[in-house]
Amino acid sequence: MTFNSLALKIASRCNLNCSYCFMYNLGDTTYKKQPKFMSAEIVNHVIEKTKNYIKKYNKKEFSFIFHGGEPLLASKQFYIDFVTKVNELKKELPNVSFFFDVQTNGVLLDKKWIALFKSLEIAPSISVDGTKKAHDMFRVDHKGNGSYDKVFKSAQLLKEEMDYADIACVINTNESPEEIYTSFKKMNASYVNFLIPDYTHDNFPFDKNKTTMADWLIALFDIWIRDANRFKIPLFLGLLNSLMRITEDAKNESTVLVIETNGEIEAIDSLKACGHGFTKTGLNITSNNLEDIQNTSLGNLYFNDLNSKLCNQCLQCPLNEICKGGRLVHRHRKSNGFNNPSVYCNDLIKLIAHIQNFFISCYPELHEKENIEAINPKEIMEYLSNISKEIESPFKKELESFLQEETVLV
């Protein structure tokens, strides 16, 4: 099994109401049936099942990511109890390293929370969408008020108290990459995880004949790579690593399994964007083991075959070793499931080409020595558009079994 982390939905409600939120605002309404907080009973099952999983698969590292909703709506005692239980587990598993992260919207983060996280060795990451204007456009509270000012203070506090500000940022292509980059520099960010929005083929808002996302990311890359004091951007580092064949993408998405507030086991959160109930597996931590996820069709595809069971276009794509078909949510279409290339396909081609060609320009000797060639994105797009539609992926039947008849919108 590929996962080494659990994303724990310890609170199923949120003090914000972001318009792009896949939990609440992109088609899945199952959160309404969730308890507001994860109970001690569910936590006990999580710890027990994690122990069994680690032993069975001989894992040396394991992470718990506290998630929501907004995880800071849970009590401080919840975190103390959880970490205490994991510390007990360490006695039985002395050779396993455990890590804790919390992904918060930052609104409630203050010195007391940070002191607690420091004492429990929990690493916080805050969601910020760049500039105040970009952030307040989407990340609003339930009265529609922007949350940037509070979140900016939280990021500053994190830097002061922990000397590390880890940020997650959903990309908004209406904002200039220069302004977004500058605002994170002002925030003293150490690490910014830029996230490509979770659109599917059914709700993609961009013109597919243009490469809006790639153009935005390329502009950001050019600013970032020339900044000697750059913060870390895992999207670019992952692509550079893959292109240089140093490691696999460091942020391979299929390393995290999700546990809902009521103990339900789910393969991946972002697929909630595919429709109401899409991520439901029927599994629950109270009666199933973590690895049972591979017995569900979605879990099997996601954890075992994410990068190999692709549509015909991706299978024939010269960039598939790097792109791997893009993220799963971006491949979905209600009428034919995952039998599609990423909705960002042309963007991915252009971005990968830009980074590879930049790399070659820095190390021209590699061009000859390692036989690394410059990529012409137009040629690849043309090649892909000429692939015969008659040829079908050998995985067509399985990929199309994930079609979704109807999406219930909030």
Structure tokens at 221: 């890359």
Q: Which two structure tokens, joined as six digits, stand for 144?
A: 């529609």
Residue of 158, 298, 323, 399 interacting with ligand SF4 (CB under 6 A): 323
Report residue 379 CA to chain centroid gap.
30
Residues in contact with ligand SF4, counted by CB under 6 A, come to a total of 26
CB of 190 to ligand SF4, least distance (A): 21
Give the residue with the Cβ less far from ligand SF4, 19 or 44. 19
Residues 344-363 that bind ligand SF4 (CB under 6 A): 345, 348-349
The verdict on 326 binding ligand SF4 (CB under 6 A) reads yes
Comparing CB distances to ligand SF4, the nearer of 96 and 353 is: 353
Interatomic CA distance for residues 33 and 385, integer angstroms: 44
Q: Which of 6, 16, 72, 290 binds ligand SF4 (CB under 6 A)?
A: 16
76-92 and 40-57 helices, crossing angle to 10°: 30
Listed ranges 87-95, 178-186, 212-220, 309-317: which one lies at the site for ligand SF4 (CB under 6 A): 309-317
Q: Other CB atoms closer than 10 Å to residue 355's CB: what's the count?
A: 21
- Using CB under 6 A as the binding rule, whether residue 342 contacts ligand SF4 is answered as yes
Give the Cα separation of 176 and 393 in Å (integer): 39
Give yes or no for a contact between 89 and 99, defined as CB atoms under 8 angstroms apart. no
Site for ligand SF4 in 208-227 (CB under 6 A): none
Report how far residue 398's alpha carbon sits from residue 16's, in angstroms, rounded to the nearest whole number.
37
Structure tokens at 113: 């929370």
State in angstroms the smallest separation of the CB of 132 from ligand SF4: 16
> Which tokens is 85 given?
């239980």
Residue 28 lies near ligand SF4 (rule: CB under 6 A): no
| Closer Cβ to ligand SF4, 92 or 149, answer by number | 149
Token code pair at residue 234: 């895992």
Q: Per CB under 6 A, does 306 bind ligand SF4?
A: no
Cα–Cα distance measured from residue 406 to residue 338, given in angstroms and rounded to the nearest whole number: 16
Nearest approach, Cβ of 311 to ligand SF4 (angstroms)? 7
Establish if 18 lies at the interface with ligand SF4 (CB under 6 A).
yes
Nearer to ligand SF4 by Cβ, of 49 and 332: the residue is 332
CB of 342 to ligand SF4, least distance (A): 4
Q: How many CB atoms lie within 10 A of CB 174?
A: 10
The nearest distance, CB 320 to ligand SF4, in angstroms, is 4
Q: Which residues contact 314 (CB under 8 A, 6 or more apart)?
A: 320, 323, 325, 341
Nearest approach, Cβ of 363 to ligand SF4 (angstroms)? 24
**340 touches ligand SF4 (CB under 6 A):** no
Is 228 in contact with 359 (CB distance < 8 Å)? no
243: three-class secondary structure by DSSP: helix
Residue 341 interacting with ligand SF4 (CB under 6 A): yes
In the beta sheet, which residues pair with residue 61?
A: 97
Residue 135 in 3-state DSSP?
Answer: helix
Strands 61-67 and 5-9: parallel
At 257, which helix (H) or strand (E)? strand 256-259
With binding defined as CB under 6 A, does residue 24 bind ligand SF4? yes
Minimum CB separation from ligand SF4 for residue 1, in Å? 24
Q: If binding is defined by CB under 6 A, does position 17 make contact with ligand SF4?
A: yes
Stretch that binds ligand SF4, among 33-41, 281-289, 321-329, 360-368 (CB under 6 A): 321-329
Helix (H) or strand (E) run with residue 302 in it: helix 297-304
Q: Are 33 and 224 in contact, with CB atoms under 8 Å apart?
A: no
Distance CA 366, CA 364 (A): 5
Q: Report the nearest approach of ligand SF4 to the CB of residue 380 (Å).
A: 7
Q: Among 319, 329, 351, 375, which residue sits at the site for ligand SF4 (rule: CB under 6 A)?
A: 319
- When the beta carbons of 49 and 327 are compared against ligand SF4, the nearer one is 327
User: Is residue 134 within the footprint of ligand SF4 (CB under 6 A)?
Assistant: no
Q: For binding to ligand SF4 (CB under 6 A), which residues are involved?
A: 14, 16-18, 21, 23-24, 68-70, 105, 127, 313-314, 317, 319-320, 323, 325-326, 341-342, 345, 348-349, 384
